[in-house]
Structure 1
Amino acid sequence: MAKYYHITADSITIRPLAFLVPIGIAIVVLLLLLPLSTILILVKGHLGDIETKYFASYFFMLPFLFACIPFFTYGKRQVIFDALHHTISLKTIFGKKKLMDFNEVASIDPQVRFGLVYYLKSSADRYGKGYRISPSFTGEQDKDKLHFDSHVLSEIKLMIAKVPDRQANNILQPISMGILTHYVSENDSYRLKSTGIGKFLPMLIFFGLFACYFWYNLFTKNEPSGSDKQLSFIILIPILIFLLSVTKRVVFETSTKKIKVYRLGIVFKSYALEQFAGFNIVRKTTNGLYSGTDVRLKFNKSAELTLADFGKTNPIETFIAETEYILKKMESGTSGRS
């Protein structure tokens, strides 16, 4: 593997996608040779028979050549650890931007994403995707990974450890005073704030229009067919699902030490605090594209309760801290009143 990092006394520079550059060069060379090979076949190897018009085939290669640009732009990306300013920056063809300070680093861990890759995460967004700082490795015993661990990662951790006056996480300060962002205190319980009907509204309108059409036919036709009757009731199913979703309420009762899920004002499920087994953070994708992150409570017997779905991962840290604060209140039986 070609050298993708540069270490000095004042900085560590890493090009985690440097391996894309030789791949891009190989593809460009292949795309340039392909029309030439075709021309040589047409003239049966007689170079003197090559005419200018034959080179028009290169115009068909232009879209493919332009498609190779990301190999070089992404391959030139640099993650810079600056020991003088105690900052971590990302440098691209568009310029340089600060990612975080050294005292904001939460973790540097390997993750399985098209191989084993190291990602850097900040304390403000430790449940996010993070920033890639290494090439892909085949596994734990990959010699390139072992080299990265001993020569690059060790230097990064040593540089970060030298930062003076590392700041403590202040997320818990307002929570300890009972100031909550995601929950509402109600008598002897805490209620999770509703996310609203915004994300459900388009589907409600869509199925609502169909329902109006089918029910209009059902009541105005002299002799409605069997399919008219069936569709009039089938269309109510997605509307009922919408109502169940939008009326969902999650309540943490400190007196009963139970977490109850209400739908349409009725208790649908109840979970005992003693069955709580931790959190589960689930990153979701749809057709390969990120579609949100679920925060779930795990219970014994493989049961799970989805508390919230975040489009951005930044608030998750605070959300989990508030939930843990409430769970401790339930465990001690403290009232929900502030």
Structure 2
Amino acid sequence: MAKTKWIIEPSKLIIYPKRNLRIVGLIFFVLIAAIIFFLSRSEKDYSTGLTLGYYGVLLLIPLLLIFIAETKVIFDGNSRVLYKKIGFLPTGSIPFDDIASVQAYEIMGSGYNYRLFKKSNRHGKGIIVSSGYSKATNPNLIQFQQEVLPKIDELVFANAPVIPKQTIYDFQFFKEEGGVYLLRDNKIGSLIIGLILIGVTVSILLNPDFLTNEGSFQKILLTYFPAIIGLALLFAATSNIRFDKSQRKIIRSTFAGRVLKEYPFDDLIRFQIIRKTTNLIYSGTEVRAEILLPAKNKTTTLILKSFIGTKKIERFLDEANTILGRI
């Protein structure tokens, strides 16, 4: 199947990230045309006008796929503007100065593509600039990385001014007390729901006749499952994360401080931005810390914060990096 297509000119780069839909559309067109031909020969009783109208609507589906396949992203070096078009229809533009990065983006754990991200929303959904790839050894992907990415760097970032990050003193996501920065996290909802679910299990245990008509497995499940979920929510509600500048450690406290795990600042490798979906619907973005465990010669991840939107993630990362001394 066709992959990413592109045209490189001295001051312009044109990328067709969805050309693979052209083949899909053509296959559907042939299949639907064959079905229409078969039905037109076998079903003589239908009105010709109604039949043609119905078949026309069916043929619009593959034709729409073929049209979308002509989506193109144009990097114009003369105007320093990115233009996006579907066929001949313009769908938007972005000045080069508003572009933050072009980087790989994981697709539901089954592969990845390359996307462009704006400075105003560095961790959002982004604009697709390549087809999807399942293997890093894909020849088209390797060629894309060798030819297209350097051209994007040349056109967009080569002459872009370098703006240093500013140290933050007014923290929104951390509460500072004596050099210890407590990560703010509203957990009252988890605490209340956890207590309610545990209360459900207690109520069932106090009323053994409540589930007399259920089988043994169903009775055990309905009795103890709410308590399991409730305990998990209580565990989350009694946990917190602190950045201790004096000790230069990230400290995770659970069970109201009874269990502590400490990670030195120097063992923090990077922050991971994980975009989550549930049944193909966006369900939030997590910021995680990837931390080296030298004694075990492996890494672990620590979930720091979840966001419904993505525009505040960059601010959160700037605050965390300020505490870490990286800004």
- Contact residue 108 and residue 118 of structure 1 kept, 8 A: yes
Please tell me whether residue 273 in structure 1 is matched to residue 268 in structure 2: no
1:159 corresponding residue in structure 2: 155
Please tell me whether residue 14 in structure 1 is matched to residue 6 in structure 2: no
Please tell me whether residue 214 in structure 1 is matched to residue 214 in structure 2: no
1:299 corresponding residue in structure 2: 292
Which AA in structure 2 matches 1:185? E
- Which string of whole-angstrom CA distances, capped at 9 and with x for unpartnered residues, describes residues 134-166 of structure 1? 34567556268537843x544433322564xx3
1:62/1:280 Cα in 2 relative to 1: closer, same or farther (>3 Å)?
A: farther
Which AA in structure 2 matches 1:255? S
2:117 corresponding residue in structure 1: 121
2:32 corresponding residue in structure 1: 31
- Contact residue 261 and residue 267 of structure 1 kept, 8 A: no
How far is the alpha carbon of 1:194 from its aligned partner? 0.7
How far is the alpha carbon of 1:180 from its aligned partner? 2.0
- Contact residue 124 and residue 317 of structure 1 kept, 8 A: no
> Which one has the largest radius of gyration?
1
CA distance in 2, matches of 1:275, 1:201: 33
CA distance in 1, matches of 2:144, 2:180: 53
Which AA in structure 1 matches 2:83? S
- Contact residue 126 and residue 317 of structure 1 kept, 8 A: yes
**Unaligned 5+ runs, structure 1:** 43-49, 330-338
| 1:169-318 → structure 2 map (5 Å cutoff) | 169=163, 172-173=165-166, 176-197=167-188, 200=190, 207=197, 210-211=200-201, 214=204, 217=207, 235-263=226-254, 265-273=256-264, 276-281=267-272, 282-297=274-289, 298-300=291-293, 301=296, 302-318=299-315
CA distance in 2, matches of 1:234, 1:77: 49
* Residue aligned with 1:308, SS: strand
Which AA in structure 2 matches 1:158? E
CA distance in 1, matches of 2:128, 2:231: 43
Moved more, 248-257 or 202-211: 202-211
Query: Cα RMSD over matched residues?
Result: 4.4
CA distance in 1, matches of 2:176, 2:138: 51
CA distance in 1, matches of 2:73, 2:5: 11
- Which string of whole-angstrom CA distances, capped at 9 and with x for unpartnered residues, describes residues 116-135 of structure 1? 74332344544444322234
How far is the alpha carbon of 1:17 from its aligned partner? 0.9
CA distance in 2, matches of 1:3, 1:194: 42
Please tell me whether residue 103 in structure 1 is matched to residue 104 in structure 2: no
1:155/1:306 Cα in 2 relative to 1: closer, same or farther (>3 Å)?
A: closer
Please tell me whether residue 88 in structure 1 is matched to residue 85 in structure 2: no
How far is the alpha carbon of 1:307 from its aligned partner? 0.7
